[in-house]
């Protein structure tokens, strides 16, 4: 028995030393080529400057772009905007692209790291909750360029982009207040993220500009996707007198159909979800941003920073009314359109307020 | 009585028998995996994708780069650690289905310790966090066994129910008392550098917890097969009454095996929090506590088999997302394969039972 224990102990020690050795030797040879590889990629822009243009166009297809999304790409919301922008921009530029959808916060770093390790040159982390995960990977892959949605902390190889759809939310607020007969309008949202708070404040400001007496209700349901809860919150607002709802989550439009009130969509044209009640939607188009960033990465001119593409860049606008505009008083529509133009020319700046609300 | 030579012969005979048993057991596990992969290939074909391309992408995703190997091993860590804990409990016929909840609570208390002493030296702080996680996991599991011993309440149902209590309690904690100030997300503040497990492979996330996992597998193998405690567990699991008659304190065996199981789940939680997320977050585990049950069964309740099964499942899960992007096969196809493995593996006894029954029927007819 004693012999056996000794034998096991010996095996135990042997195995653990072997393991440590294996891990140590593994690090060196495999790490070296990876660094070399990223170096050669990084040299592309430098080579471009000296070489003739034909080399530069050849190198264009070398850049691969990836996007990591927190939800399904067919959600007709935040994730659809990301995927549609990626697809349109990359197809236009003739660049290879890939995406991963429905990635959880716990798993985001792994997926982003996997793309970086596989030589993707530009990686979009399309959720404000992916910021920190992206930051960790960016430190390990200094030659890869990362763009994280509304991130707080940036590095030299990690930039951010936001969605100034609060500019559209201001217009939506004006429209909602203009068509409301009860003098009460509603806002049903997922979580009180800085971006959503900016939207809500702009919606309130726009509504107050149209009608200083307006009452704006708001609810954050505490989840980005919980249709029954969103519907419940919407119905609660309707019962408090709201007759126009801004829908920032699935379920609100259902409530609007059931209770026959107006709804304003967000992100994509959501009229198809309720053709009789969705007056219009505040659209957000990520295509101009992705196209410019990708082009800059190809050209080697990319610089870290925040990209904000709003109404002036054609990235935020109203969707079609699908014939429902006959329900909007002419003076309201005129005022909204005039405001849109004023924002576009820079004459009017929508206030950006991310303070927390009760 | 037997003389020495006889004794030796008997021992040899036992060894032979045990080796044969291990071989057939390993064979049935491997058979289940292969059969599941074949059925999976048919399903992938029906989805309109060449199964060879899909499996190539799967293997590339799981083992193709240094980073993917690291990620596969990382995914295997919580599965293996929780799996060997479940193994010990199952061996004593204590059905611990509560590893998920034990993992959540273990991770949370480890992070709380890490946040409370951010400046302690890592050599002191990390073990403290690990111990906190293990004790919490063990206590949470222990409650279920105490209920069993006191009120004869079924521990399987209780541990399942206690999972929900634990997960929702943690969710409340990270949205309330221990939430990071100013963040709308369900998470605590980040751990200090002292409270983070060191990386053992550059440019990847593979942390020291992997080495500890290997050591724990060896340790658990030793405990189960080479100690009195392990013997008592095995005997009690085979026949509780015989073991009671032989003077084994069955109650203690039940309780201690569950404490060990809960401690391992808590340790896995500590690894996830201090090695990967670097804080406590809501949904820290994507069902590791449940997958670990499957891993434990597929590994034939043998710690080394559990380790292999954990690496297999880790590879399947990591490779799945690459397969999804590369050839457009949804990752859920891999989830399907995982559960096919389980069904085929559990069903293997059904096959032999059916054959036996048929033979019997034939005899009766004849």
Per-residue model confidence as pLDDT tens digits over B88-104: 999 999 999 999 999 99
Are A230 and A250 a contacting pair, CB within 8 Å?
A: yes
Instruction: Measure the CA–CA gap between B168 and A213, rounded to whole angstroms.
Output: 42
Q: Given A99, A106, A110, which is nearest B71 (Cβ)?
A: A110
Q: Which residues of B touch A27 (CB under 8 A)?
A: 200-202
Structure tokens at B11: 């021992």
pLDDT digits (tens, 9 = 90+) for A306-322: 999 999 999 999 999 99
pLDDT at B344: 85
CA A101, A103, A107, A110: dihedral to nearest 10 degrees? 20
Query: Looking at beta carbons, which residues of chain B come within 8 Å of A141?
Result: 203
Q: Provide the CB-side half-sphere exposure for A122 (13 A, CA).
A: 28
Distance CA B151, CA B143 (A): 12
Burial class (CB in 10 A: 0-12, 13-18, 19+), B341: buried
**Number of domains making up chain B:** 1
Q: pLDDT digits over B290-302, tens only?
A: 999 999 999 989 9
Measured over the CA atoms of residue B268, residue B273, residue B274 and residue B280, the dihedral's sign is negative
pLDDT score, position B365: 67
Strand order of the β-sheet with A122-126 is: A96-100, A64-69, A122-126, A145-149, A158-162, A306-308
Contact: A27, B202; criterion CB under 8 Å: yes
Residue B9 falls inside a structural domain: no
| Tens-digit pLDDT profile for residues A3-27 | 444 444 444 434 443 343 333 333 3
Decide if B11 is inside a domain. no
> Which CATH number describes the domain made up of A61-162+287-310?
3.40.50.2300
% of chain A at pLDDT higher than 90: 69
Q: Name the closest residue on chain A to residue B283, using Cα atoms.
A: A106
Whether residue B2 is contained in a domain is answered as no
pLDDT of A57: 42
CA distance A240 to A255: 14
- Nearest to residue A162, comparing CAs of A175, A149, A143, A173? A149
Q: For position A36, what pLDDT does the model report?
A: 31
The domain segmentation of chain A, as residue ranges, is 61-162+287-310, 166-284+328-345
Note whether A110 and B71 are within 8 A (CB): yes
Residues of A with CB under 8 A from a CB of B: 4-5, 8, 12, 15-16, 19-20, 23, 26-27, 30-31, 34, 98-100, 104-107, 109-111, 113-114, 117-118, 129, 132, 140-141, 191-193
> Among the CATH numbers 3.40.50.300, 3.40.50.2300, 1.10.8.590, 3.50.50.60, which is that of A166-284+328-345?
3.40.50.2300
Q: Which residue has the higher pLDDT, A53 or A281?
A: A281
Could you tell me the two tokens for A216?
A: 């704006």
Which of B66, B322, B324 is nearest residue A30 as measured by Cβ atoms?
B66
Would the CB atoms of B68 and A114 count as touching at under 8 Å?
A: yes
Q: Which of A128-132, A222-226, B133-137 has the highest mean pLDDT?
A: B133-137
Q: Which of residues 67-86 of B touch A (CB under 8 A)?
A: 67-68, 71, 74
A to B CB pairs, distance under 8 Å: 78
Same fold, A61-162+287-310 and A166-284+328-345: yes
Going from the C-alpha of B117 to that of each of A253, A337, B110, B187, B193, the distances in angstroms are 49, 58, 11, 18, 11
Confidence (pLDDT) at A309: 92
CA A161/CA A82 separation, integer angstroms: 11
**Residue A312 class from Cβ within 10 Å (0-12 exposed, 13-18 middle, 19+ buried)?**
middle
Q: Could you list the residue range(s) of the whole structural domain that residue B215 is in?
A: 16-365
Calculate mean pLDDT across residues A256-281: 94
> Which CATH number belongs to the domain containing residue B108 in this structure?
1.10.3470
- Higher per-residue confidence, A302 vs B348: A302
Q: Is B285 on the interface with A (CB under 8 A)?
A: yes
Helix (H, G, I), strand (E, B) or coil at A31: helix
**Conformation bin of residue B40: beta by default, left when phi > 0, alpha when psi is -120 to 50:** alpha
Q: What kind and span of H or E run contains B344?
A: helix B332-365
């Amino acid at each position: 028995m004693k012999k056996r224990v000794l034998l096991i102990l010996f095996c135990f020690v042997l195995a653990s030393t072997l393991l440590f050795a294996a891990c140590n030797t593994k690090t060196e040879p495999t790490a070296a080529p990876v660094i070399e590889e990223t170096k050669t990629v990084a040299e592309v822009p430098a080579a471009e400057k000296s070489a003739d243009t034909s080399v530069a166009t050849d190198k264009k297809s070398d850049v691969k772009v990836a996007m990591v999304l927190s939800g399904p790409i067919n959600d007709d919301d935040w994730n659809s905007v990301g995927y549609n922008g990626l697809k349109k921009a990359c197809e236009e530029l003739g660049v290879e692209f890939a995406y991963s959808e429905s990635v959880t916060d716990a798993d985001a770093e792994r997926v982003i790291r996997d793309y970086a390790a596989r030589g993707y040159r530009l990686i979009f982390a399309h959720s404000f909750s992916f910021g920190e995960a992206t930051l960790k990977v960016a430190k390990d892959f200094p030659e890869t360029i990362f763009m994280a949605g509304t991130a707080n902390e940036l590095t030299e190889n990690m930039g951010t982009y936001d969605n100034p759809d609060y500019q559209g939310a201001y217009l939506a607020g004006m429209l909602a207040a203009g068509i409301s007969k009860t003098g009460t309008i509603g806002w049903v949202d997922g979580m009180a993220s800085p971006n959503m708070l900016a939207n809500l404040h702009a919606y309130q400001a726009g509504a107050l500009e149209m009608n200083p007496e307006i009452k704006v209700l708001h609810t954050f349901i505490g989840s980005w996707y919980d249709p029954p809860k969103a519907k419940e919150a919407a119905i609660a607002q309707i019962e408090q007198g709201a007759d126009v709802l801004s829908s920032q989550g699935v379920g609100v439009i259902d409530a609007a159909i059931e209770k026959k009130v107006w709804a304003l969509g967000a992100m994509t044209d959501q009229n198809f979800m309720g053709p009789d009640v969705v007056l219009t939607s505040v659209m957000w188009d990520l295509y101009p941003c992705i196209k410019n960033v990708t082009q800059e990465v190809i050209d080697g001119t990319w610089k870290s920073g925040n990209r904000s593409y709003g109404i002036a860049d054609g990235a935020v606008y109203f969707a079609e009314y699908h014939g429902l505009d006959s329900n909007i008083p002419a003076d309201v529509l005129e005022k909204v359109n005039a405001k849109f133009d004023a924002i576009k020319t820079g004459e009017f700046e929508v206030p950006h307020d991310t303070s927390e609300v009760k | 009585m037997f003389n020495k030579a006889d004794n030796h012969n008997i021992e040899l005979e036992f060894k032979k028998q045990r080796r044969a048993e291990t071989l057939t057991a390993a064979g049935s596990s491997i058979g289940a995996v292969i059969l599941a992969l074949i059925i999976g290939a048919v399903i992938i074909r029906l989805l309109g994708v060449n199964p060879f391309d899909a499996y190539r992408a799967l293997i590339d995703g799981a083992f193709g780069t240094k980073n993917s190997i690291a990620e596969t091993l990382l995914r295997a860590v919580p599965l293996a650690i929780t799996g060997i804990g479940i193994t010990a409990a199952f061996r004593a016929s204590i059905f611990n289905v509560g590893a998920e909840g034990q993992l959540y609570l273990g991770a949370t208390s480890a992070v709380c310790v890490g946040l409370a002493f951010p400046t302690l030296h890592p050599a002191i702080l990390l073990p403290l966090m690990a111990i906190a996680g293990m004790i919490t996991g063990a206590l949470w599991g222990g409650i279920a066994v105490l209920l069993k011993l006191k009120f004869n309440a079924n521990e399987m149902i209780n541990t399942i129910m206690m999972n929900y209590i634990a997960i929702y309690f943690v969710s409340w904690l990270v949205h309330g008392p221990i939430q990071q100030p100013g963040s709308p997300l369900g998470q605590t503040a980040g751990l200090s550098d002292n409270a983070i497990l060191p990386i053992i492979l550059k440019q990847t996330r593979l942390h020291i917890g992997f080495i500890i996992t290997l050591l724990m597998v060896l340790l658990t193998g030793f405990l189960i097969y080479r100690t009195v405690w392990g013997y008592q567990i095995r005997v009690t699991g085979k026949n509780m009454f015989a073991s009671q008659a032989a003077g084994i304190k069955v109650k203690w065996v039940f309780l201690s095996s569950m404490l060990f199981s809960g401690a391992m789940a808590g340790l896995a939680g500590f690894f996830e929090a201090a090695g990967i997320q670097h804080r406590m977050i809501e949904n820290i585990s994507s069902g590791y506590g449940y997958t670990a049950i499957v891993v434990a069964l597929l590994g034939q309740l043998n710690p080394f088999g559990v380790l292999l099964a954990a690496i297999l499942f880790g590879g399947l899960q990591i490779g799945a997302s690459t397969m999804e992007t590369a050839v457009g096969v949804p990752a859920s196809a891999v989830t399907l394969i995982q559960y096919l493995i389980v069904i085929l593996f559990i069903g293997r006894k059904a096959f032999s039972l059916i054959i036996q029954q048929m033979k019997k029927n034939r005899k009766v007819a004849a």
